[in-house]
Amino acid sequence: MLDSMHRDAAPCPKLVVEGVSKWFRTPRAVTHALDGVTLHVNDGEFVCLVGPSGCGKSTLLDIIAGLTWPDQGYVTADGCPVEGPERHRLVMFQDSALFPWLTAFGNVMFGLKLVPELTRAQRREIALRYLDMVGLANFARANVHELSGGMKQRVAFARALAPDPHVLLMDEPLSALDALTREALYWDIQRIQQERRKTIVLVTHNVREAVCLGDRVVLLSPHPGRIREEFRIDLPRPRDVNSMELARHASRITTALKGYTVPEAVE
């Protein structure tokens, strides 16, 4: 705590990934998943990692979360080395990972109950506020199996935001949704990001999604996963994923992406 206050004087990146390499060893083969990845993310910045499947972007996210260890290099958050998962860096997964034994409200409360500073009343109030923010105030008591795919991801989003993490890591959170639901969520995520200003790292293979949401789009290429290029997106917010302007940016990035990978691998 004191440490981070001390550092406020000289601003440094919220998240530092420095020279991270990772190999997966199985009895049959050794896969080089990540190769010397360096990435700095500033406070309140929304960074999208884009790459074809197998480029190690999910592995990178796991390493930032502290769920996996790098073989080389290191990761720091707020200047402190990442040594394991911690509630200041929450992860949102592709399949909502909501707990089916809890209601929507109970799921949002799960993370809040692990924040010791809060009182019971505060937790309830925060949980309801975030459910309201994602448009599910009326579904607080709903069971997980009663929610649609989009609603589940909204609850997961509320669950990830409610404990007020320093960093939010999103692993293809919208990939499993239909196009209409996804577009609705683009608006919601942008609106909430305007209000909350979180540091977010989002992994996706959808270039338009990355351009729509990200302040910066980072391209990764596979075998082994390497950072190839970065694009700063200065379009005004909120952005419409269907706008021509956005499509132009996206096609420029897609072209760059194709240059680094075999065409079939790009979606």
Which residues bind to other proteins, rule: CB under 8 A?
65-67, 85-87, 89-91, 93, 95, 97, 99-103, 110-111, 114-115, 143-146, 159, 163, 169
Minimum distance of other proteins from residue 108's CB (angstroms) = 11
Minimum distance of other proteins from residue 138's CB (angstroms) = 18
- 32 versus 88: smaller Cβ distance to other proteins: 88
DSSP 163-201: T--SEEEEESTTTTS-HHHHHHHHHHHHHHHHHH--EEE
Minimum distance of other proteins from residue 160's CB (angstroms) = 8
In contact, 36 and 228? CB cutoff 8 Å: no
Minimum distance of other proteins from residue 192's CB (angstroms) = 19
Helical spans, DSSP H, in the chain: 2-7, 57-65, 104-112, 120-133, 149-161, 179-196, 207-213, 244-260
CB count within 10 Å of CB 229 equals 15
> What does the angle CA 253 – CA 258 – CA 264 come to, to the nearest 5 degrees?
135
Structure letter (DSSP) for residue 225: B
> What does the angle CA 145 – CA 148 – CA 152 come to, to the nearest 5 degrees?
80
Minimum distance of other proteins from residue 148's CB (angstroms) = 13
Minimum distance of other proteins from residue 97's CB (angstroms) = 4
- 90 versus 203: smaller Cβ distance to other proteins: 90
Minimum distance of other proteins from residue 62's CB (angstroms) = 8
- 100 versus 236: smaller Cβ distance to other proteins: 100
- 116 versus 263: smaller Cβ distance to other proteins: 116
β-bridge pairing 15-25 and 30-41: antiparallel
Buried residues in 161-190 as b, exposed as e (16+ CB within 10 A): bbbbbbbbbbbbbbeebeeebbbebbebbb
- 103 versus 190: smaller Cβ distance to other proteins: 103
- 102 versus 128: smaller Cβ distance to other proteins: 102
CB count within 10 Å of CB 243 equals 13
* Structure tokens given for 29: 């083969």
- 63 versus 233: smaller Cβ distance to other proteins: 63
